[in-house]
A and B are shown apart, each in its own frame.
Chain A
């Protein structure tokens, strides 16, 4: 497999949220605003890259029987580091993401990639895989939060994560017609459901086209 394919696979073909349906817990909870989504995406990306690299380096030392506990301890340590760093440098983001930063430990994406990729492949491949998957996750949470914030509040906004008072952009499109249901938990389920339906729609269309070509 080409190196670039490993990277691209995580972004689209095996997008962790839209295709593999992993890590839904955090992706549904924190997608109320673009700022939260970017913060969470970067946190997951950092943890995923470090855990994949470390596990891939240690893959020949770790005994097979106890590999899962070892992976979990490595991941928990990394998440705690990220949590402490975020508490120190991005306090506003830390506050709004709350319990979902420590819950990165039990995010299926990270353990899943450690188990199915990093424990079997070289360091460089694992790094690429982590970057692809991490960016795929970030992309997916950004898409979900884009729709939720736009429909739920009628506008979009983005704040500097290191300094909450610094606004990067903020505008309102249809503030009077905002459907606040979409910022609530129910809206998260419905938004993701509709996005998945759209992806399925594209797939079905493609399959039908392929069938027609075959029929001719």
Chain B
């Protein structure tokens, strides 16, 4: 039961994008086409899931016994950078189309706050290994849901009659604000 509520809590109630502002950059950058948004979501899901497990194991099996926990940031960011490089090479080989359509945003997953944020949160919240793995799955799923919904809304905003000053990013940010209000509404769930 604890794991289920952790999962739902991290996916919806404390959605990382809309309550902690992790990964706002790709949200505004990639999410103009729903299809690209979904691809981005899959790539991020893989990276976050693997990264949260690897960094957790590294922290408790290597850094802590050696008493060099102050090296956590450097270790984590290197793990993440190599994972992203791996995804990039994999996509380039298997589906060049997706690789092309994601363009510069693929290497930028490295600087996606959500990846490092989840790795650091897992440690500071004192999760067990299973909990860290669940968090590593729940957070990117929440991210994917939000970025997909946001992309579909933005597609409609393109043809909507928006005041000139609000066109583009401002209206997108206000949309995100209203989505955050909506998600705050289910805060009592967990």
Contact = CB atoms under 8 A, between A and B. Distances in A.
Interface residues of B, number: 46
B149 interface: no
A200 B168 contact: yes
A188 B21 CA distance: 9
Contacts, number: 126
Interface residues of A, number: 42
A22 B25 contact: yes
A24 B73 contact: no
B54 interface: no
Contacts of A108: 25, 108, 111
Given A24-B28, A105-B73, A189 B174 contact: yes
A85 to B, nearest CB: 12
A29 B20 contact: yes
Given A25-B24, A197-B165, A80 B117 contact: no
B97 interface: no
Contact of B173 (A22, A79, A111, A193): A193
Contact of B21 (A25, A105, A107, A198): A25
Contacts of B177: 186-190, 193
A101 B114 CA distance: 14
B182 to A, nearest CB: 9
A19 to B, nearest CB: 11
Contacts of A103: 113, 116-117, 120
A84 B23 contact: no
B167 A200 contact: yes
Contacts of A84: 70
